[in-house]
Structure 1
Amino acid sequence: MTEELPELRASDADRERVAEVLRDALAEGRLDMEEFEERLDATYRARTYGELAPITRDLPVGQVAVPKVDMLKRPEQDGSWASRIVGGEGSSTWAVAVMSGFQRKGRWTVPRRFNCFAFWGGGDIDLREANFAAGEVEINCVAIMGGMQVIVPPGVEVVVRGIGIMGGFDHREEGVPAEPGAPRVVVTGFAFWGGVGVERKVTRAERQRLREERRQQRLERRSAARELRRGEH
Protein backbone atom coordinates (compact mmCIF):
# COMPACT_ATOMS: atom_id res chain seq x y z
CA MET A 1 0.00 0.00 0.00
CA THR A 2 2.84 2.40 0.82
CA GLU A 3 4.40 1.76 -2.60
CA GLU A 4 1.02 2.41 -4.25
CA LEU A 5 0.58 5.81 -2.59
CA PRO A 6 4.14 7.08 -1.97
CA GLU A 7 3.17 10.73 -2.33
CA LEU A 8 0.20 10.65 0.05
CA ARG A 9 0.85 13.25 2.74
CA ALA A 10 1.63 11.93 6.23
CA SER A 11 0.02 13.44 9.32
CA ASP A 12 1.56 14.37 12.67
CA ALA A 13 -0.06 11.25 14.15
CA ASP A 14 1.65 9.09 11.49
CA ARG A 15 5.03 10.61 12.34
CA GLU A 16 4.39 10.00 16.05
CA ARG A 17 3.63 6.31 15.40
CA VAL A 18 6.95 5.95 13.57
CA ALA A 19 8.77 7.81 16.37
CA GLU A 20 7.22 5.43 18.92
CA VAL A 21 8.60 2.43 16.98
CA LEU A 22 12.04 4.07 17.01
CA ARG A 23 11.90 4.68 20.77
CA ASP A 24 10.96 1.07 21.40
CA ALA A 25 13.86 -0.05 19.17
CA LEU A 26 16.27 2.18 21.12
CA ALA A 27 15.05 0.76 24.45
CA GLU A 28 15.46 -2.81 23.14
CA GLY A 29 19.00 -2.18 21.85
CA ARG A 30 18.07 -2.57 18.17
CA LEU A 31 19.31 0.99 17.48
CA ASP A 32 22.19 2.87 19.04
CA MET A 33 21.77 6.51 20.01
CA GLU A 34 23.32 7.87 16.81
CA GLU A 35 21.04 5.76 14.58
CA PHE A 36 18.03 6.69 16.71
CA GLU A 37 18.71 10.43 16.43
CA GLU A 38 19.29 10.22 12.67
CA ARG A 39 16.06 8.31 12.07
CA LEU A 40 14.05 10.46 14.47
CA ASP A 41 15.22 13.59 12.67
CA ALA A 42 14.24 12.03 9.33
CA THR A 43 10.83 11.10 10.79
CA TYR A 44 9.94 14.66 11.79
CA ARG A 45 11.18 15.97 8.42
CA ALA A 46 9.15 13.43 6.42
CA ARG A 47 6.18 14.81 4.51
CA THR A 48 4.87 11.71 2.70
CA TYR A 49 4.41 7.99 3.38
CA GLY A 50 7.10 7.29 0.79
CA GLU A 51 9.58 9.16 3.00
CA LEU A 52 8.38 7.51 6.23
CA ALA A 53 8.39 3.90 5.00
CA PRO A 54 12.19 3.27 4.82
CA ILE A 55 12.80 4.62 8.35
CA THR A 56 11.41 1.57 10.18
CA ARG A 57 11.39 -1.08 7.44
CA ASP A 58 14.10 -3.18 9.17
CA LEU A 59 12.43 -2.99 12.62
CA PRO A 60 9.70 -5.18 14.15
CA VAL A 61 6.23 -3.73 13.62
CA GLY A 62 7.96 -1.20 11.44
CA GLN A 63 5.79 -1.05 8.36
CA VAL A 64 4.10 2.29 7.83
CA ALA A 65 0.39 1.72 7.39
CA VAL A 66 -1.15 4.00 4.82
CA PRO A 67 -4.79 4.65 5.63
CA LYS A 68 -7.49 3.79 3.14
CA VAL A 69 -8.47 6.85 1.14
CA ASP A 70 -12.18 7.42 1.78
CA MET A 71 -13.96 9.54 -0.81
CA LEU A 72 -17.06 9.96 1.39
CA LYS A 73 -17.26 13.18 3.37
CA ARG A 74 -17.41 12.41 7.09
CA PRO A 75 -18.53 14.77 9.86
CA GLU A 76 -15.53 16.44 11.45
CA GLN A 77 -14.96 17.18 15.09
CA ASP A 78 -16.86 20.30 16.07
CA GLY A 79 -13.99 21.60 18.20
CA SER A 80 -15.94 21.33 21.47
CA TRP A 81 -14.24 19.97 24.55
CA ALA A 82 -16.62 17.01 24.58
CA SER A 83 -15.44 15.98 21.11
CA ARG A 84 -11.77 16.28 22.16
CA ILE A 85 -11.97 13.97 25.19
CA VAL A 86 -11.85 10.74 23.22
CA GLY A 87 -10.82 7.98 25.68
CA GLY A 88 -8.37 5.26 24.70
CA GLU A 89 -4.67 4.92 25.46
CA GLY A 90 -3.17 7.97 23.80
CA SER A 91 -1.10 8.11 20.61
CA SER A 92 2.18 8.73 22.48
CA THR A 93 2.95 7.98 26.12
CA TRP A 94 6.56 9.09 26.62
CA ALA A 95 9.46 11.10 25.19
CA VAL A 96 13.21 11.29 25.88
CA ALA A 97 15.80 13.93 25.00
CA VAL A 98 19.44 13.20 25.84
CA MET A 99 21.61 16.01 24.49
CA SER A 100 18.86 16.51 21.93
CA GLY A 101 15.22 17.56 21.76
CA PHE A 102 11.72 16.24 21.22
CA GLN A 103 8.33 17.62 20.22
CA ARG A 104 4.77 16.49 20.68
CA LYS A 105 2.42 18.77 18.78
CA GLY A 106 -0.40 18.90 16.28
CA ARG A 107 -3.18 16.31 16.23
CA TRP A 108 -2.18 13.73 18.83
CA THR A 109 -4.00 12.13 21.75
CA VAL A 110 -2.62 12.93 25.19
CA PRO A 111 -2.69 9.80 27.41
CA ARG A 112 -3.84 9.81 31.01
CA ARG A 113 -0.15 10.07 31.97
CA PHE A 114 2.58 11.30 29.65
CA ASN A 115 6.17 10.82 30.90
CA CYS A 116 9.08 12.80 29.51
CA PHE A 117 12.77 13.08 30.40
CA ALA A 118 15.40 15.59 29.29
CA PHE A 119 19.11 15.49 30.11
CA TRP A 120 21.16 18.30 28.55
CA GLY A 121 18.28 18.70 26.17
CA GLY A 122 14.74 19.97 25.89
CA GLY A 123 11.26 19.26 24.71
CA ASP A 124 7.99 20.87 23.71
CA ILE A 125 4.64 19.32 24.68
CA ASP A 126 2.01 21.26 22.75
CA LEU A 127 -1.61 20.47 23.69
CA ARG A 128 -3.33 23.20 21.66
CA GLU A 129 -4.58 20.91 18.88
CA ALA A 130 -4.49 17.67 20.85
CA ASN A 131 -7.26 15.33 21.89
CA PHE A 132 -7.32 13.93 25.44
CA ALA A 133 -7.70 10.36 26.63
CA ALA A 134 -9.47 11.55 29.80
CA GLY A 135 -10.90 14.63 31.46
CA GLU A 136 -7.74 14.84 33.61
CA VAL A 137 -4.29 14.10 32.22
CA GLU A 138 -0.87 14.22 33.86
CA ILE A 139 2.28 15.51 32.17
CA ASN A 140 5.20 14.16 34.22
CA CYS A 141 8.43 16.02 33.41
CA VAL A 142 11.94 15.18 34.65
CA ALA A 143 14.47 17.81 33.55
CA ILE A 144 18.15 17.37 34.47
CA MET A 145 20.21 20.31 33.22
CA GLY A 146 17.56 20.73 30.56
CA GLY A 147 14.18 22.28 30.01
CA MET A 148 10.68 21.55 28.80
CA GLN A 149 7.78 23.71 27.71
CA VAL A 150 4.15 22.66 28.15
CA ILE A 151 1.79 24.69 25.94
CA VAL A 152 -1.93 24.54 26.74
CA PRO A 153 -4.89 26.12 24.95
CA PRO A 154 -7.14 28.74 26.54
CA GLY A 155 -9.93 27.22 28.61
CA VAL A 156 -7.92 24.35 30.10
CA GLU A 157 -7.35 24.19 33.86
CA VAL A 158 -3.69 23.84 34.85
CA VAL A 159 -2.32 22.46 38.13
CA VAL A 160 1.46 22.41 38.72
CA ARG A 161 2.91 20.03 41.33
CA GLY A 162 6.53 19.69 40.23
CA ILE A 163 9.56 20.02 42.50
CA GLY A 164 12.62 22.07 41.56
CA ILE A 165 16.13 21.95 43.02
CA MET A 166 18.30 24.73 41.56
CA GLY A 167 15.55 24.77 38.96
CA GLY A 168 11.83 25.30 38.90
CA PHE A 169 8.33 24.81 37.56
CA ASP A 170 6.26 27.64 36.12
CA HIS A 171 3.10 28.27 38.17
CA ARG A 172 1.81 31.36 36.33
CA GLU A 173 -1.07 29.56 34.58
CA GLU A 174 -2.50 28.07 37.76
CA GLY A 175 -5.77 29.47 39.07
CA VAL A 176 -7.26 30.32 35.66
CA PRO A 177 -10.86 29.02 35.65
CA ALA A 178 -11.60 26.22 33.19
CA GLU A 179 -14.26 26.40 30.51
CA PRO A 180 -17.22 24.00 31.00
CA GLY A 181 -16.22 20.48 29.94
CA ALA A 182 -12.55 21.37 29.41
CA PRO A 183 -9.86 18.92 30.56
CA ARG A 184 -7.59 19.42 33.53
CA VAL A 185 -3.83 19.26 32.92
CA VAL A 186 -1.66 18.36 35.93
CA VAL A 187 2.06 19.04 35.48
CA THR A 188 4.26 17.00 37.83
CA GLY A 189 7.89 15.92 37.99
CA PHE A 190 11.34 17.05 39.05
CA ALA A 191 13.76 19.69 37.77
CA PHE A 192 17.45 19.80 38.75
CA TRP A 193 19.45 22.63 37.20
CA GLY A 194 16.63 22.88 34.75
CA GLY A 195 13.10 24.12 34.35
CA VAL A 196 9.61 23.30 33.15
CA GLY A 197 7.62 26.15 31.69
CA VAL A 198 3.86 26.26 31.25
CA GLU A 199 2.40 28.64 28.69
CA ARG A 200 -1.14 29.33 27.48
CA LYS A 201 -1.39 30.14 23.77
CA VAL A 202 -3.96 30.02 21.00
CA THR A 203 -3.30 28.00 17.87
CA ARG A 204 -1.83 29.58 14.77
CA ALA A 205 -5.18 29.22 12.98
CA GLU A 206 -7.02 30.91 15.86
CA ARG A 207 -4.42 33.68 15.96
CA GLN A 208 -4.90 34.22 12.24
CA ARG A 209 -8.69 34.25 12.69
CA LEU A 210 -8.46 36.87 15.45
CA ARG A 211 -6.09 38.97 13.33
CA GLU A 212 -8.50 38.82 10.40
CA GLU A 213 -11.40 39.67 12.69
CA ARG A 214 -9.59 42.76 13.99
CA ARG A 215 -8.68 43.79 10.45
CA GLN A 216 -12.32 43.50 9.38
CA GLN A 217 -13.41 45.59 12.36
CA ARG A 218 -10.91 48.32 11.43
CA LEU A 219 -12.22 48.34 7.85
CA GLU A 220 -15.79 48.63 9.09
CA ARG A 221 -14.89 51.53 11.41
CA ARG A 222 -13.11 53.36 8.58
CA SER A 223 -16.07 52.79 6.29
CA ALA A 224 -18.47 54.10 8.94
CA ALA A 225 -16.25 57.16 9.48
CA ARG A 226 -16.22 57.90 5.75
CA GLU A 227 -20.02 57.61 5.59
CA LEU A 228 -20.31 59.98 8.57
CA ARG A 229 -18.07 62.57 6.90
CA ARG A 230 -20.12 62.36 3.69
CA GLY A 231 -23.31 62.92 5.70
CA GLU A 232 -21.83 66.01 7.36
CA HIS A 233 -20.94 67.51 3.97
Structure 2
Amino acid sequence: MSDELPEMRASDAERERVAEVLRDALAEGRLGMDEFQERLDSTYQARTRGELVPLVRDLPYHDSPDTDGDANPEPAATGQNPQAPALRKKRRWAERIGGKATSRWGVGIMGGFGRKGEWTVPRVFTGVGIMGGGELDLREARFEERDVVIRCFALMGGFSVTVPPGMGVEVRGIGIMGGFDSSASGFADADAPRVVITGLTVMGGVGVERKLPREEKLRLRSERRERRELERRERREGRERRRGHGGPHGGYGGPHGGHGKSL
Protein backbone atom coordinates (compact mmCIF):
# COMPACT_ATOMS: atom_id res chain seq x y z
CA MET A 1 0.00 0.00 0.00
CA SER A 2 1.36 3.37 -0.97
CA ASP A 3 1.69 6.03 1.70
CA GLU A 4 1.48 8.93 -0.76
CA LEU A 5 -0.84 11.73 0.32
CA PRO A 6 -1.10 10.35 3.87
CA GLU A 7 -3.39 13.15 5.02
CA MET A 8 -5.93 12.57 2.25
CA ARG A 9 -9.27 11.39 3.57
CA ALA A 10 -9.87 7.65 3.16
CA SER A 11 -12.94 6.48 1.26
CA ASP A 12 -15.28 3.65 2.20
CA ALA A 13 -13.98 1.63 -0.77
CA GLU A 14 -10.40 1.99 0.51
CA ARG A 15 -11.41 0.85 3.99
CA GLU A 16 -13.15 -2.18 2.49
CA ARG A 17 -10.05 -3.11 0.46
CA VAL A 18 -7.92 -2.98 3.61
CA ALA A 19 -10.52 -5.02 5.52
CA GLU A 20 -10.43 -7.66 2.76
CA VAL A 21 -6.64 -7.93 3.01
CA LEU A 22 -6.94 -8.40 6.77
CA ARG A 23 -9.58 -11.13 6.39
CA ASP A 24 -7.42 -12.98 3.88
CA ALA A 25 -4.46 -12.70 6.28
CA LEU A 26 -6.60 -14.16 9.06
CA ALA A 27 -7.74 -17.03 6.85
CA GLU A 28 -4.13 -17.77 5.84
CA GLY A 29 -2.92 -17.79 9.45
CA ARG A 30 -0.83 -14.63 9.12
CA LEU A 31 -2.87 -12.86 11.82
CA GLY A 32 -4.35 -14.16 15.05
CA MET A 33 -7.96 -13.39 15.89
CA ASP A 34 -7.11 -10.74 18.50
CA GLU A 35 -4.74 -8.85 16.20
CA PHE A 36 -7.17 -9.21 13.28
CA GLN A 37 -10.01 -7.71 15.31
CA GLU A 38 -7.81 -4.87 16.54
CA ARG A 39 -6.68 -4.00 13.01
CA LEU A 40 -10.20 -4.34 11.61
CA ASP A 41 -11.58 -1.93 14.21
CA SER A 42 -8.78 0.52 13.39
CA THR A 43 -9.59 0.18 9.68
CA TYR A 44 -13.19 1.25 10.07
CA GLN A 45 -12.18 4.07 12.43
CA ALA A 46 -9.47 5.39 10.11
CA ARG A 47 -10.07 8.85 8.69
CA THR A 48 -7.03 9.20 6.40
CA ARG A 49 -4.94 7.05 4.07
CA GLY A 50 -1.99 7.51 6.39
CA GLU A 51 -3.89 5.67 9.14
CA LEU A 52 -4.64 2.74 6.80
CA VAL A 53 -1.07 2.19 5.59
CA PRO A 54 0.44 0.64 8.77
CA LEU A 55 -2.46 -1.82 9.09
CA VAL A 56 -1.37 -3.82 6.03
CA ARG A 57 2.25 -2.79 5.53
CA ASP A 58 3.53 -6.18 6.79
CA LEU A 59 1.02 -8.24 4.78
CA PRO A 60 1.44 -9.52 1.20
CA TYR A 61 -0.75 -8.92 -1.83
CA HIS A 62 -2.09 -5.53 -0.84
CA ASP A 63 -2.87 -2.83 -3.36
CA SER A 64 -2.72 0.91 -3.01
CA PRO A 65 -5.80 2.65 -1.57
CA ASP A 66 -6.34 4.55 -4.79
CA THR A 67 -9.75 6.13 -5.13
CA ASP A 68 -9.66 5.26 -8.84
CA GLY A 69 -8.99 1.60 -8.11
CA ASP A 70 -11.49 -1.23 -8.28
CA ALA A 71 -13.10 -1.90 -4.92
CA ASN A 72 -13.05 -5.62 -5.72
CA PRO A 73 -9.92 -6.25 -7.80
CA GLU A 74 -9.41 -9.57 -9.51
CA PRO A 75 -6.81 -11.90 -7.95
CA ALA A 76 -4.73 -11.89 -11.13
CA ALA A 77 -4.43 -8.11 -10.97
CA THR A 78 -3.34 -7.96 -7.34
CA GLY A 79 -1.36 -11.16 -6.96
CA GLN A 80 -3.76 -12.44 -4.33
CA ASN A 81 -4.06 -16.07 -3.38
CA PRO A 82 -6.37 -17.68 -5.99
CA GLN A 83 -8.38 -19.15 -3.13
CA ALA A 84 -9.39 -15.66 -1.96
CA PRO A 85 -12.50 -15.41 -4.20
CA ALA A 86 -13.94 -18.51 -2.50
CA LEU A 87 -13.54 -16.82 0.87
CA ARG A 88 -15.15 -13.63 -0.40
CA LYS A 89 -18.05 -15.66 -1.78
CA LYS A 90 -18.76 -16.90 1.72
CA ARG A 91 -18.89 -13.28 2.84
CA ARG A 92 -21.68 -12.19 0.49
CA TRP A 93 -23.77 -11.13 3.40
CA ALA A 94 -26.72 -9.91 1.34
CA GLU A 95 -27.41 -13.52 0.32
CA ARG A 96 -27.76 -14.48 3.99
CA ILE A 97 -30.30 -11.82 4.97
CA GLY A 98 -34.01 -12.54 4.69
CA GLY A 99 -36.26 -15.50 5.31
CA LYS A 100 -38.50 -16.90 8.00
CA ALA A 101 -36.94 -17.43 11.43
CA THR A 102 -36.49 -21.09 12.36
CA SER A 103 -36.27 -20.50 16.12
CA ARG A 104 -37.19 -17.53 18.27
CA TRP A 105 -36.30 -18.80 21.74
CA GLY A 106 -34.41 -21.47 23.66
CA VAL A 107 -34.60 -22.70 27.24
CA GLY A 108 -32.04 -24.60 29.27
CA ILE A 109 -33.09 -25.69 32.79
CA MET A 110 -30.44 -27.81 34.46
CA GLY A 111 -29.37 -28.56 30.93
CA GLY A 112 -28.73 -26.79 27.67
CA PHE A 113 -29.83 -26.06 24.11
CA GLY A 114 -27.99 -25.32 20.90
CA ARG A 115 -28.62 -23.42 17.70
CA LYS A 116 -25.98 -23.95 15.05
CA GLY A 117 -25.52 -24.68 11.38
CA GLU A 118 -27.76 -23.13 8.72
CA TRP A 119 -30.53 -21.86 10.96
CA THR A 120 -32.29 -18.51 10.49
CA VAL A 121 -31.79 -16.03 13.33
CA PRO A 122 -34.97 -14.07 14.15
CA ARG A 123 -35.17 -10.33 14.60
CA VAL A 124 -35.23 -11.01 18.35
CA PHE A 125 -34.03 -14.28 19.90
CA THR A 126 -34.57 -14.92 23.62
CA GLY A 127 -32.59 -17.47 25.60
CA VAL A 128 -33.32 -18.50 29.19
CA GLY A 129 -30.97 -20.57 31.33
CA ILE A 130 -31.58 -21.73 34.92
CA MET A 131 -28.65 -23.74 36.19
CA GLY A 132 -28.06 -24.33 32.49
CA GLY A 133 -27.74 -22.37 29.29
CA GLY A 134 -27.28 -22.50 25.57
CA GLU A 135 -24.90 -22.31 22.63
CA LEU A 136 -25.63 -20.02 19.68
CA ASP A 137 -23.43 -20.35 16.60
CA LEU A 138 -24.03 -17.70 13.92
CA ARG A 139 -21.19 -18.61 11.57
CA GLU A 140 -23.37 -20.45 9.03
CA ALA A 141 -26.68 -18.82 9.94
CA ARG A 142 -29.08 -16.75 7.89
CA PHE A 143 -30.74 -13.67 9.37
CA GLU A 144 -34.39 -12.65 9.30
CA GLU A 145 -33.28 -9.03 9.19
CA ARG A 146 -29.97 -7.23 8.97
CA ASP A 147 -30.18 -6.04 12.60
CA VAL A 148 -30.95 -8.72 15.17
CA VAL A 149 -31.06 -8.82 18.96
CA ILE A 150 -30.12 -11.77 21.15
CA ARG A 151 -31.48 -11.53 24.69
CA CYS A 152 -29.86 -13.76 27.30
CA PHE A 153 -31.31 -14.30 30.77
CA ALA A 154 -29.44 -16.68 33.04
CA LEU A 155 -29.56 -17.69 36.70
CA MET A 156 -26.54 -19.73 37.75
CA GLY A 157 -25.99 -20.53 34.10
CA GLY A 158 -24.68 -19.02 30.90
CA PHE A 159 -24.55 -18.78 27.14
CA SER A 160 -21.91 -18.84 24.44
CA VAL A 161 -22.32 -16.91 21.19
CA THR A 162 -20.00 -17.54 18.23
CA VAL A 163 -19.88 -15.09 15.34
CA PRO A 164 -17.83 -15.03 12.10
CA PRO A 165 -15.25 -12.37 11.22
CA GLY A 166 -16.83 -9.31 9.66
CA MET A 167 -20.10 -9.39 11.58
CA GLY A 168 -20.92 -6.39 13.75
CA VAL A 169 -21.33 -7.13 17.45
CA GLU A 170 -22.48 -4.91 20.29
CA VAL A 171 -22.73 -6.21 23.86
CA ARG A 172 -25.01 -4.40 26.32
CA GLY A 173 -25.92 -6.99 28.95
CA ILE A 174 -25.77 -6.65 32.73
CA GLY A 175 -24.13 -9.24 34.93
CA ILE A 176 -24.65 -9.61 38.69
CA MET A 177 -21.94 -11.81 40.19
CA GLY A 178 -21.21 -12.65 36.58
CA GLY A 179 -20.87 -10.75 33.34
CA PHE A 180 -21.06 -10.31 29.57
CA ASP A 181 -17.87 -10.73 27.54
CA SER A 182 -17.46 -7.77 25.17
CA SER A 183 -14.03 -8.68 23.75
CA ALA A 184 -15.55 -9.70 20.40
CA SER A 185 -17.43 -6.41 19.98
CA GLY A 186 -16.51 -4.56 16.82
CA PHE A 187 -17.53 -2.87 13.59
CA ALA A 188 -19.19 -4.80 10.78
CA ASP A 189 -18.43 -5.18 7.10
CA ALA A 190 -20.39 -2.64 5.09
CA ASP A 191 -23.19 -5.08 4.17
CA ALA A 192 -22.93 -7.52 7.11
CA PRO A 193 -25.64 -8.26 9.68
CA ARG A 194 -25.31 -6.63 13.08
CA VAL A 195 -26.16 -8.37 16.33
CA VAL A 196 -26.85 -6.77 19.70
CA ILE A 197 -26.37 -9.08 22.67
CA THR A 198 -28.19 -7.98 25.79
CA GLY A 199 -29.96 -9.35 28.84
CA LEU A 200 -29.28 -10.12 32.49
CA THR A 201 -27.28 -12.80 34.25
CA VAL A 202 -27.14 -13.59 37.96
CA MET A 203 -24.24 -15.76 39.05
CA GLY A 204 -23.71 -16.56 35.39
CA GLY A 205 -22.34 -15.10 32.19
CA VAL A 206 -22.37 -14.78 28.43
CA GLY A 207 -19.27 -15.40 26.33
CA VAL A 208 -18.87 -14.05 22.80
CA GLU A 209 -16.09 -15.12 20.43
CA ARG A 210 -15.19 -14.81 16.77
CA LYS A 211 -14.23 -17.90 14.77
CA LEU A 212 -13.91 -18.84 11.13
CA PRO A 213 -16.70 -21.05 9.81
CA ARG A 214 -15.91 -24.75 10.07
CA GLU A 215 -15.89 -25.20 6.29
CA GLU A 216 -13.25 -22.51 5.85
CA LYS A 217 -11.12 -23.91 8.68
CA LEU A 218 -11.23 -27.41 7.15
CA ARG A 219 -10.37 -26.05 3.71
CA LEU A 220 -7.45 -24.01 5.05
CA ARG A 221 -6.21 -27.00 7.03
CA SER A 222 -6.36 -29.12 3.87
CA GLU A 223 -4.48 -26.45 1.91
CA ARG A 224 -1.74 -26.30 4.57
CA ARG A 225 -1.46 -30.07 4.51
CA GLU A 226 -1.16 -30.06 0.70
CA ARG A 227 1.50 -27.32 0.84
CA ARG A 228 3.53 -29.27 3.38
CA GLU A 229 3.28 -32.43 1.25
CA LEU A 230 4.37 -30.48 -1.85
CA GLU A 231 7.34 -29.01 0.04
CA ARG A 232 8.37 -32.47 1.29
CA ARG A 233 8.11 -33.88 -2.23
CA GLU A 234 10.20 -31.05 -3.66
CA ARG A 235 12.88 -31.52 -0.99
CA ARG A 236 12.93 -35.27 -1.63
CA GLU A 237 13.24 -34.77 -5.39
CA GLY A 238 16.00 -32.23 -4.79
CA ARG A 239 17.98 -34.71 -2.69
CA GLU A 240 17.53 -37.40 -5.34
CA ARG A 241 18.75 -35.05 -8.07
CA ARG A 242 21.83 -34.15 -6.03
CA ARG A 243 22.61 -37.81 -5.43
CA GLY A 244 22.11 -38.52 -9.11
CA HIS A 245 24.57 -35.79 -10.13
CA GLY A 246 27.13 -36.88 -7.59
CA GLY A 247 26.93 -40.63 -8.24
CA PRO A 248 29.33 -41.05 -11.23
CA HIS A 249 32.05 -38.97 -9.55
CA GLY A 250 31.46 -39.76 -5.92
CA GLY A 251 33.09 -43.22 -5.63
CA TYR A 252 36.51 -43.86 -4.17
CA GLY A 253 37.30 -47.42 -5.18
CA GLY A 254 37.36 -47.04 -8.98
CA PRO A 255 40.38 -47.38 -11.24
CA HIS A 256 41.28 -43.71 -10.82
CA GLY A 257 40.23 -43.32 -7.22
CA GLY A 258 43.72 -43.76 -5.77
CA HIS A 259 42.39 -45.37 -2.63
CA GLY A 260 42.06 -49.02 -3.74
CA LYS A 261 44.26 -51.69 -2.23
CA SER A 262 45.80 -54.31 -4.52
CA LEU A 263 45.92 -57.91 -3.41
Does the alignment reach a TM-score above 0.5? yes
Do 1:89 and 1:112's aligned partners in 2 also have CA atoms closer than 8 Å? no
Counterpart check, 1:192 vs 2:202: yes
Q: Which has the larger radius of gyration?
A: 2
TM-score (norm 2): 0.55
RMSD, aligned CA:
1.8
Aligned equivalents of 1:109 and 1:193: distance in 2? 30
Q: Specify which of 217, 228, 234 is matched with residue 218 of structure 1.
A: 228
Aligned equivalents of 1:186 and 1:220: distance in 2? 45
Q: Specify which of 164, 183, 186 is matched with residue 193 of structure 2.
A: 183
Residue 82 of structure 1 aligns with an amino acid whose one-letter code is A
TM-score (norm 1): 0.61
Determine the structure 2 residue equivalent to 1:127.
138
Q: Specify which of 133, 145, 150 is matched with residue 161 of structure 2.
A: 150
Give per-residue Cα distances to partners, 1:92-143, cap 9 Å, x unaligned.
Answer: 1111112221111111100111111111111111111110111221111011
Aligned equivalents of 1:227 and 1:91: distance in 2? 55
Q: Unaligned stretches of 5+ in structure 2?
A: 1-88, 246-263
Report the CA distance between 1:228 and its aligned residue: 3.9
Counterpart check, 1:82 vs 2:94: yes
Q: Specify which of 100, 104, 112 is matched with residue 93 of structure 1.
A: 104
Residue 176 of structure 2 aligns with an amino acid whose one-letter code is I
| Secondary structure of the structure 1 residue equivalent to 2:232 | helix
Give per-residue Cα distances to partners, 1:180-219, cap 9 Å, x unaligned.
Answer: 4221111111111000011212233222111101001112
Aligned length: 154
Q: Specify which of 204, 216, 219 is matched with residue 206 of structure 1.
A: 216
Give per-residue Cα distances to partners, 1:151-174, cap 9 Å, x unaligned.
Answer: 112221211111111010011111
Give per-residue Cα distances to partners, 1:47-102, cap 9 Å, x unaligned.
Answer: xxxxxxxxxxxxxxxxxxxxxxxxxxxxxxx642111112x441111111122211
Q: Unaligned stretches of 5+ in structure 1?
A: 1-77
Aligned equivalents of 1:129 and 1:84: distance in 2? 9
